[in-house]
Structure 1
Amino acid sequence: MGYKIGFLKYLVKTPHTFIGLMAMYVFGGAVVTLLNIILKLFSGNYVEAFLEHFLYSAVSPTSILKVLFLVTTGTIVAGLKCIGQYEQPSWFLIQDLCR
């Protein structure tokens, strides 16, 4: 099985189990929170970065769309990390999918 097919299987099958869904939700939330904090830190708003960390990590989602976004983000980042670790680096997959 190639890395493209394995990545697509990972994207489809991981969120279909309860454990996989919860794990990808938590991981996606951590990734999105980290990206938001980094953006706030580079803009020089240290207090906003601190508050945003607690708002994004402690407040539950307000819509189904946000839950799906966090699960999708977590699954994609985890899938790219797995590909980069075991086969080719993940940027090869991104280049192939964008062609």
Structure 2
Amino acid sequence: MARRGGYEIGLAKYIIKTPLTVVGFVSMYIFGGSIFAGLAGVEHLFTSQSVTEAVLIYFLTEALPPTTVGEVLAQVVAGTVTAGFLWYWNTAV
């Protein structure tokens, strides 16, 4: 039987410590980028007149890598929090 609160402590450690390693930072950067790219792609599909227009707009505006430190950190935070909660929900719940 798991220790009381063990998974919650593990979730906090996962979210805090994962981006502090080089491999964790890069992994969460890529994962967060794929989350943002997927959301942007879905948004363009629903707001454009055609699929071709949506794909063209997406690749010209959203598929480029982030250019500011804030955008990079936002991707890492989004990836880390999402991955942490996915781990928690798949193991503790």
Match of 1:67 among 65, 72, 78: 72
Q: Does structure 1 residue 16 correspond to structure 2 residue 20?
A: yes
Aligned mates of 2:15, 2:80 — CA distance in 1:
6
- What amino acid maps onto 1:29 in structure 2? G
Question: Where in structure 2 are there 5+ consecutive unaligned residues?
Answer: none
- Matched residue count: 87
Aligned mates of 2:60, 2:84 — CA distance in 1:
27
Question: Where in structure 1 are there 5+ consecutive unaligned residues?
Answer: 89-99
Deviations 1:46-69, CA, capped at 9 Å, x for gaps: 234313146433x22210000000
RMSD, matched Cα: 1.8
- Contact 1:29–1:56, Cα closer than 8 Å, also in 2: no
**Runs (4+) off by over 4 Å:** none
- Counterparts in 2 of 1:42-57, with a 5 A limit? 42-45=46-49, 46-51=51-56, 52-53=58-59, 55-57=61-63
Aligned mates of 1:53, 1:78 — CA distance in 2:
25
Q: Which moved more, 1:10-19 or 1:48-57?
A: 48-57
Larger radius of gyration: 2
Q: Which moved more, 1:65-74 or 1:31-40?
A: 31-40
Cα distance change of structure 1 residues 65 and 48 upon mapping to structure 2, 3 Å threshold? farther
Q: TM-score, normalised by structure 1?
A: 0.76
- Contact 1:37–1:53, Cα closer than 8 Å, also in 2: no
Q: TM-score, normalised by structure 2?
A: 0.80
- What amino acid maps onto 1:82 in structure 2? W
